[in-house]
Amino acid sequence: MEIVVREVRVHSGKNWKVTERDFEVLKWIGRWNGVTSAQVIREFTERGLHPSSQVVYRRLRGLVALGLLDTAQLAGRRSAAYWLTRGGMELVNVPGNATAPNVKEYHHDLTVVDLAHHIRQVRPDDQLVSEREIRARDTPNQYESNEPTFSVTTGVNERGRRYPDLVAVDDQGRAWAHELERTRKPRPRLIRNMLLYVNADHIRFAVYWAFPDLLTNVQQAAEEANKSSMELGRGKKIAVRVWNSEEEGTT
């Protein structure tokens, strides 16, 4: 029997019950800058926490009615997007600021959620840390934590930081940064970004996932970065993988 953890009265006069499984959904959504309904369904039906997509949709509607989630139909996306409100963040103790998906970044951010799903399938024992979680750990005025952070310094006044799209920590405690490249960047900029990981002692390896039409440019940048890494005696620290756009089918 599922435990009810909170009962909230909404404007219609009805009482909505927030359950343990709702808590799990809210905490997972809070790890990201936004997720689609299809991604929520995939996550929680695969984990067996919800039996069907209909149940997930019903719970999402209830959490929106409670004011714990916000939702919108984003341009170019088949599924509605969801993100935590301030009330939702406070309820499940998610650090950071409550923000809606960035209009310039949401295609990228939603694809990173798919990338995380792919990595978990390939390496199920790795612990995944999202960019939002890394940023929260790096912001002491919002969140105090003893957990390790995985940003890297840009060397700009010793204050600039670069945040990986995703980090996977393996069973030996080694951090693998993952970056998704879905828009073209000048090769010198790519090389500079890669060298930040080359010079970061706390990052074991960086994997760049490139959309097919960007693969050659990213591979050539990685060759230059690895050449510098070898000269520094750090070995090869940059790998390139093609991102199969079919993985986006759920978004």
**pLDDT digits over 66-88, tens only?**
899 999 999 988 889 999 999 99
> For the residues 168-180, what does the mean pLDDT come to?
96
> For the residues 193-208, what does the mean pLDDT come to?
96
Q: How confident is the model at residue 190 (pLDDT cuts 50, 70, 90)?
A: very high
CA distance 136 to 95: 6
Instruction: Tell me the Ramachandran region of residue 157: left when phi exceeds 0, alpha when psi lies from -120 to 50, beta otherwise.
Output: left
| The pair of three-digit structure tokens given for residue 198, joined into one six-digit string | 């080359």
CA distance 45 to 43: 6
For the chain, the average pLDDT equals 87
DSSP string for residues in 232-250: TT----EEEEE--GGGGGG
Q: How confident is the model at residue 201 (pLDDT cuts 50, 70, 90)?
A: very high
Q: Tell me the CA distances in angstroms from 12 to 31, 82, 84, 91, one per residue in order.
A: 30, 22, 21, 21
pTM of the model: 0.88
Say if residue 158's pLDDT is above 70. Answer: no
7-59 pLDDT tens trace: 555 444 456 678 888 999 999 999 999 999 999 999 998 877 666 788 888 88
CB 49 within 8 A of CB 24: yes
The confidence score (pLDDT) of residue 245 equals 66
CA distance 96 to 86: 10
For CA atoms 64, 67, 70, 72, the dihedral sign is: positive
Contacts of 55 (CB under 8 A, 6+ apart): none
Say if residue 147's pLDDT is above 90. Answer: no
| The pair of three-digit structure tokens given for residue 249, joined into one six-digit string | 């089918």
CA 79, 81, 85 angle in degrees (round to 5)? Answer: 160
Q: Which residue has tokens 């409670």?
A: 66
> For the residues 119-141, what does the mean pLDDT come to?
88
**Strand, coil or helix: what is 161?**
strand
Q: Where are the alpha helices (DSSP H) in 50-170?
A: 53-65, 86-92, 106-122, 131-137
Q: Which residue has tokens 């599922």?
A: 2
